Amino acid sequence: MTNPILQREVLGFLRSWWAPAIQLVPAVTFSVLVLIRWPTDGQVSVAGTQAHQVLELFGYGALALVLLLVPIFPATTLVRERRQGTLALLLNSPMSGWSIYAGKLAGNLTCVFLPLIMSLPAAAACYAMTGLGASQHLGRLYLVLFMATIQYTVLALYVSSFASTTDSALRTTFGIILLIAVGSLGPYQLLQGQSLGWLGEIGLWLQSLSPLPAMMEILGHGDVTAQGLVTRSGSPLRFALLAAATATFCAIHTIVRLKPTMLDRPRPQGVITQDRSHLQQWLRRFVFLVDPHRRSGAIGDWTNPVLVKEFRSRRFGRSQWMFRLIALSALISLLLTYMATTGTFVWGPETIGVIMVVLQIALVLILTPSLAASLISSERESGGWTLLMMTPLTGTRIIIGKLLSVAATVAMVLMATLPGYIVMMVIQPVLKQQVLYVLLSLVLTALFAVTLSAAVSSFFQRTAPATITCYALLALFLITPMLIWLGRDAPFGKSVVESILIASPLAAALQAMQISGFTHYELLPVNWWIMGGASLLCTGILGLQTWRITRPL
């Protein structure tokens, strides 16, 4: 290794305490996923049915691992260099921008490729069952996984070159990945069934930005044409081409930015709204719902100052960004509901409800750890926790202010989708009870995600490992039970699947919506008690850990 940055990145990672976990946990997880579908009688089907079932569980589990864990390390690497003051030293060293970027990219790829490499024994077990082609199935599956890993790593490095804090880098990166993996599917869904010529072709290629259609085609779900996800072969090749193109664009732009002037961020001085004329102030108040140039008022006597500090210092917490996110969420929910009720889709309101539930759970899964996992860990990493301890504020008031800042953000995002549910209940009053049950499940899910992420944050002194742990634990409750559900009837019986699904808020919400495949499981109200009890347990752990780190040494 002649590149010193590559050597530092790899050796620093391998010497860390979480390196063995990143190697062992995926290996054990993939082995368990294969064993779940492994034939119990020691015989395999000549047609390869069992092998395809094993590959299906393995493929979706590997894709979920890539989406949730790959972007974390590259999204924080340049931000960490900037905050530690070493990025200026690197940019002023004899090394070129290309050498710096090559070392960072190779080092991060080495770290994020380890989980995929550890999955090779499980993939070999799938191939040993016969019925699978080395190039047709495993080759194309790993092509999609490796291209998605490269694409998300390069994208995370690109975002990291702009971000100023680790939590903002993580939020932006996961937001873009959610938009690429899920949002890119939307335009083609709206255009399916219509002969729009070149416009439909653009929607098809835009959909190919997501690895989901490619993975579905590889795993034999190419006949899922009713949802429009796979309507034409060649999705893996299109995804590989688009992933390579987007990765090349982001890499070139990042390399161009890696020069000493990168740290210079001149900004116009601007004019405070209060310094303008009365007419201009009234015009800006009429045009802007929230004026970002308006001077904030003083903190009230009965207001938690930590809550105000979080909202004002966190870009995502600023009012103008919150209103934009809420407006976007409300618009999407109303659009889906309108198209379902007017017959634009062949889907009914129940199917639209499923889409809304899954999107909300995904939003909670992506948004909450990026906000709450840095509540305490980022303060300890930057030295701000020591300053907070020097104020007259108690540890309890500090934690309450931080929890409220995250809880308010997540609550406003969830409430933004209420108009869509209200329209569904007005159109079909019979769905009222189902919608109320779903909303209660979503509220408990958000509460559990916030308290769990905050509790995990109190144990770490760095944001990146805290965020990784939060995502892993939330995936354990939200995604792993759904993988077990894929193995229903073979090899698991109804009682085993139900005992696993009863801890999943996603499965409980889908059962509340009376979705096919979940109706014969009794998950409510036991799941509500589990989520409530788990939230209280996480709150207790957070309080105990806060007392430990705030007491005098």
Closest CA to 55 of 208, 221, 211: 221
Kindly write down the DSSP assignment for every residue of 525-536, as one continuous string: THHHHHHHHHHH
Position 224 scores a pLDDT of: 40
Exposed, middle or buried: residue 55 (CB in 10 Å: 0-12, 13-18, 19+)?
buried
Contact 243, 75 (CB under 8 A): no
- Quote the tokens at residue 523: 């998950």
- Quote the tokens at residue 76: 């924080």
Give the Å distances, CA to CA, from 489 to 37, 126, 498, 513: 10, 20, 11, 22
- The answer for residues whose C-beta is within 8 angstroms of residue 432's C-beta and 6 or more apart is 425
Position 150 scores a pLDDT of: 93
3-class secondary structure, 488: strand
Is the pTM value of this prediction over 0.85?
Answer: no
Contact 414, 334 (CB under 8 A): no
Position 123 scores a pLDDT of: 79
Contact 147, 244 (CB under 8 A): yes
Cα 369 to the center of its chain, rounded Å = 8
String of b and e for 162-188 (b: at least 16 CB within 10 Å)?
A: ebebbbbbbbbbbbbbbebbbbbbbbb
Q: Is 392 left (phi over 0), alpha (psi -120 to 50) or beta?
A: alpha
At residue 195, what is the residue type?
Answer: S
- The answer for residues whose C-beta is within 8 angstroms of residue 280's C-beta and 6 or more apart is 273
The C-alpha atoms of residue 361 and residue 444 are separated, in whole angstroms, by 11
Closest CA to 420 of 403, 406, 439: 439
Give the Å distances, CA to CA, from 242 to 106, 150, 208, 210: 21, 12, 7, 9
Give pLDDT tens digits along the chain (553 positions): 578 888 888 888 777 777 787 778 777 877 776 776 666 655 555 555 666 777 777 788 788 888 877 888 888 888 888 888 888 888 888 888 888 898 899 888 888 888 888 888 877 877 776 666 667 778 888 889 999 999 999 999 999 988 877 777 877 888 888 888 877 776 766 665 555 566 667 777 788 888 888 888 887 764 443 344 545 556 788 888 999 999 999 999 999 988 887 777 666 666 676 667 777 777 766 666 566 666 666 676 677 788 877 777 765 555 556 666 666 666 666 666 665 555 555 555 566 667 777 777 877 877 788 788 888 888 888 788 888 888 888 888 888 888 888 888 888 777 777 776 777 777 777 777 888 888 888 889 889 999 999 999 999 888 778 887 888 788 777 777 877 776 676 656 778 788 888 888 888 888 887 777 787 888 888 889 999 999 999 999 999 998 888 877 5
Kindly state the DSSP code that residue 492 receives in the 8-state scheme.
Answer: B
What sign results for the dihedral spanned by CA atoms 179, 375, 262, 69? negative
Contact 323, 290 (CB under 8 A): yes
Closest CA to 174 of 67, 261, 294: 67
Closest CA to 378 of 309, 438, 441, 320: 309
At residue 198, what is the residue type?
Answer: W
What sign results for the dihedral spanned by CA atoms 301, 307, 310, 311? negative
Closest CA to 229 of 318, 355, 142, 349: 355
- Quote the tokens at residue 39: 């034939």
Task: Enumerate the β-bridge partners of residue 492.
Answer: 488
Position 45 scores a pLDDT of: 54
The C-alpha atoms of residue 461 and residue 355 are separated, in whole angstroms, by 37
Residue whose pair of structure tokens reads 């082609």 in the numeric block: 133
The C-alpha atoms of residue 69 and residue 197 are separated, in whole angstroms, by 38
Contact 423, 507 (CB under 8 A): no
- Quote the tokens at residue 257: 């930015």
